[in-house]
């Protein structure tokens, strides 16, 4: 099992809890609003919005919520003026973290993030301090079911994917950003069930953590993810040895 897949498993368990508390809807609504603001309200002409709407539907978000979020983005309805910011941080043990935020007050966000990270024995880094350790990639997570690994490998390589990772329940298909939509469509057209499709920061090299260090890193990341302005968190920690 790869470290990335192990972290994905941890995140999926947390996502189930977030979903029960409605936090997932809040994040998706922000993403839809920003996507519509930056690229227009037509999903056919706005790939980012199209992906956000697909994510909303996979999370069973009502159509009315989606429509309102789009209209707030395009200015048809009054909405909050959001700003996207990526922060760079270190967890205990020097583990790198990238934090994607959406905020209406960046001064508040950076101050509160710095405080909560320091409480977990991490620290907020300067711009450029850890971003170089990551690459932006497309990631499609597919439920394994009875899908043979050779079969899905053939489909994704033909569509331009770069890598396939696997854990007990899911395949993770990694692609360059420019091939992401083609890969996603190929998987969808094959009839495979997509659990999630998104653009993510993937660590170029993983750093193994275990025992107390792994616990501390996970607690730090969980504290960051709990913060309302945080959309996504990425790390170079390798949790392969974590039970």
Q: How many CB atoms lie within 10 A of CB 141?
A: 21
d(CA 129, CA 194): 34
For 146-151, the CB contacts below 8 A with 24+ separation are 147/171, 147/192
Q: What is the mean pLDDT of residues 181-197?
A: 92
pLDDT recorded at residue 211? 87
CB within 8 Å of 110: residues ≥ 6 apart:
85, 87, 124
pLDDT in tens, 136-183: 999 999 999 899 999 999 999 999 999 999 888 889 999 999 999 999
Q: Supply the pTM of this predicted model.
A: 0.86
Per the CB < 8 A criterion, the answer to whether 25 and 61 are in contact is yes
Per the CB < 8 A criterion, the answer to whether 240 and 208 are in contact is yes
Nearest to 145 by CA among 163, 179, 169, 162: 169
Nearest to 188 by CA among 148, 149, 152, 146: 152
Nearest to 83 by CA among 30, 136, 41, 130: 30
CB within 8 Å of 161: residues ≥ 6 apart:
173, 174, 175, 179, 183
Nearest to 171 by CA among 200, 202, 198, 192: 192
pLDDT recorded at residue 196? 85
Nearest to 137 by CA among 98, 165, 173: 173
Q: What is the mean pLDDT of residues 4-11?
A: 60
Strands, E, within the chain: which ranges? 83-90, 96-103, 123-124, 134-143, 161-166, 170-175, 194-203, 207-208, 230-235, 237-238
pLDDT in tens, 24-72: 889 999 999 999 999 999 999 999 999 999 989 988 899 999 999 999 9
- What tokens does 24 get? 């997932």
Q: What angle do CA 175, 130, 171 make, to 5 degrees?
A: 30
């Amino acid at each position: 099992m790869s470290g990335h897949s192990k972290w994905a498993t941890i995140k999926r368990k947390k996502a189930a809890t977030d979903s029960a508390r409605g936090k997932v809807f809040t994040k998706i609504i922000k993403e839809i609003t920003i996507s519509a603001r930056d690229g227009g309200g037509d999903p056919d002409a706005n790939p980012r919005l199209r992906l956000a709407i697909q994510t909303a539907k996979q999370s069973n978000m009502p159509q009315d919520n989606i429509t309102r979020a789009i209209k707030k983005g395009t200015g048809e309805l009054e909405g909050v003026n959001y700003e996207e910011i990526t922060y760079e941080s270190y967890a205990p043990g020097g583990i790198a973290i990238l934090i994607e935020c959406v905020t209406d007050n960046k001064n508040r966000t950076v101050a509160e993030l710095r405080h909560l990270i320091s409480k977990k024995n991490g620290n907020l880094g300067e711009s450029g301090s850890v971003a170089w350790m990551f690459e932006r990639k497309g990631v499609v997570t597919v439920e394994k079911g009875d899908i043979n690994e050779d079969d899905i490998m053939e489909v994704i390589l033909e569509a331009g994917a770069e890598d396939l990772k696997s854990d007990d329940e899911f395949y993770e298909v990694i692609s360059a950003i420019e091939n992401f939509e083609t890969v996603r469509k190929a998987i969808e057209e094959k009839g495979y069930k997509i659990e999630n499709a998104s653009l993510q920061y993937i660590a170029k090299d993983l750093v193994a953590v275990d025992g107390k260090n792994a616990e501390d890193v996970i607690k730090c990341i969980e504290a960051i993810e709990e913060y309302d302005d945080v959309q996504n968190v990425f790390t170079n920690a390798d949790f392969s040895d974590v039970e």
